[in-house]
Amino acid sequence: MDVKLVNPFIDAFTTVLPQMGFSEPKRTGMSVKEQNAKSLGVAVIVGFTKEIRGSVVYNMTEETAKFIASTMMMGMPVAAFDEMAQSAISEMSNMLTANAATNLTALGLEVDISTPSLTVGADCQIKISNEQYLTILMDVDGHQVEIDVAVQ
Partner 1 sequence: MEKVKVMVVDDSRISRMMVSSMLAKTNFEICAMAENCSQAVALYAKTKPDVVTMDMNLPDEDGIECTSRIHAIDPKAKIVMISAMKDAKLIMRGRMVGISAFLQKPVSTNELIDTLMIMCKDNVGTVATYRESYVTTFAKVLQQTLMQVFGVQSEIEIAQEDSSVLKVDGVAVVVGIVGEPKGRVALYMDADTMFGLSRAMLGMDADEELSSDEAEAAIEEAGNIIAGRGVSSVNDVFKDREMRVTPPGTIVGSDIVLSNPDLIAFNIKAKTLYGDVFMNIGFARGV
* Chain residues that interact with partner 1, rule: CB under 8 A: 36, 39, 45-50, 53-55, 57, 83, 86-87, 90-91, 112-121, 123-128, 150, 152
CA dihedral angle for residue 128, residue 133, residue 139, residue 143, rounded to 10 degrees: 30
Measured from the CB atom, the residue of 103 and 117 that comes closer to partner 1 is: 117
CB of 51 to partner 1, least distance (A): 12
Q: Cβ closer to partner 1: 30 or 52?
A: 52
15 Cα distance to chain centroid = 13
How big is the CA angle at 21 (ends 70 and 29), to the nearest 5 degrees? Answer: 90
Write down the least CB distance from residue 98 to partner 1, Å: 11
* CA separation for the pair 89, 10 (Å, rounded): 17
> Residue 21 or 121: which CB sits closer to partner 1?
121
Residue (19 or 131) nearer to partner 1, CB: 131
Q: How far is the CB of 144 from partner 1 (least distance, A)?
A: 21
CA atoms within 13 A on the CB side of 80: 2
| Cβ-based nearer residue to partner 1, 8 or 47 | 47
Taking the C-alpha atoms of residue 11 and residue 149, their distance in angstroms, rounded to an integer, is: 13
| Cα 152 from Cα 143, distance rounded (Å) | 30
Q: Closest distance between partner 1 and the C-beta of residue 116, in Å?
A: 7
Q: What is the largest CA-CA distance in the chain?
A: 43
Q: How far is the CB of 61 from partner 1 (least distance, A)?
A: 15
